[in-house]
Amino acid sequence: MKNNKVILTAAITGAVHVSSMSPYLPITPEDIVAQAVGAARAGAAVVHLHARDPKTGEPSSDLKLMRQMVSAIKAECDVIICITTGASQMMTVQERLSVVPDMKPELASCNAGSMNFVLAGLVPQLTDDAPAWEKTYLAGTYDNVFANTYQGLDTYIHTMQENGTIPEFEVYDAGMINNIAYFKKQGILKCPIYLQFVMGIQGGLPASVDNLVFLRNTAEKQLDEFNWSCAAAGRHQFPMITAAMAMGGNARVGLEDNLYIRPRVLAKSNAEQIQAAAAAAHILGREVATAEEARAILNLKGADQVNF
Which pTM was predicted? 0.95
Comparison of pLDDT for 93 and 37, the residue scoring more:
37
Tell how far CA 35 is from the center of its chain.
15
Q: What letter represents residue 106's amino acid?
A: E
Q: Per-residue pLDDT averaged across 125-134, rounded?
A: 86
Report the distance separating Cα 242 and Cα 308, nearest Å: 34
| β-strand partners of 179 | none
Computed over every residue of the chain, the mean pLDDT equals 95
Model pLDDT, residue 1: 46
Model pLDDT, residue 95: 82
Comparison of pLDDT for 218 and 1, the residue scoring more:
218
User: How does 66-81 read in b/e, with b if 16+ C-beta sit within 10 Å?
Assistant: bbbbbebbeeebebbb
Q: Model confidence over 131-180: pLDDT tens digits?
A: 888 889 899 999 999 999 999 999 999 999 999 999 999 999 999 999 99
Q: Per-residue pLDDT averaged across 262-291, rounded?
A: 98
Q: In the 8-state DSSP scheme, what is residue 164?
A: T
Q: Model confidence over 43-70: pLDDT tens digits?
A: 999 999 999 999 999 999 899 999 999 9
Give the rounded percent of residues in the chain with a pLDDT score beyond 90.
Answer: 86
Q: Are 254 and 12 in contact (CB under 8 A)?
A: yes
Model pLDDT, residue 87: 64
Q: In the 8-state DSSP scheme, what is residue 202?
A: B
Q: Per-residue pLDDT averaged across 19-23, rounded?
A: 89
pLDDT higher than threshold 90 for residue 92: no
Q: Model confidence over 98-125: pLDDT tens digits?
A: 999 999 999 999 999 999 999 999 899 8
Model pLDDT, residue 3: 76
Model pLDDT, residue 2: 64
Model pLDDT, residue 112: 97
Strand residues in 238-295 grouped as ranges (E): 250-253, 260-262, 265-266, 287-288
Among 69, 67, 79, 133, CA closest to 107:
79
Model pLDDT, residue 89: 66
The pairs formed by 209-215 with CB atoms below 8 angstroms and a separation of 24 or more are 209/240, 209/243, 212/240, 212/243, 212/244, 212/247, 213/247, 214/174, 215/171, 215/174, 215/177
Q: Per-residue pLDDT averaged across 34-40, rounded?
A: 98
Q: Per-residue pLDDT averaged across 252-263, rounded?
A: 97
Q: What letter represents residue 231's amino acid?
A: A
Report the distance separating Cα 248 and Cα 284, nearest Å: 10
Kindly write down the DSSP assignment for every residue of 133-157, as one continuous string: HHHHHHHHGGG--B---HHHHHHHH
Kindly write down the DSSP assignment for every residue of 63-108, as one continuous string: HHHHHHHHHHHHHH---EEEE-S-S-TTS-HHHHHTHHHHH--SEE
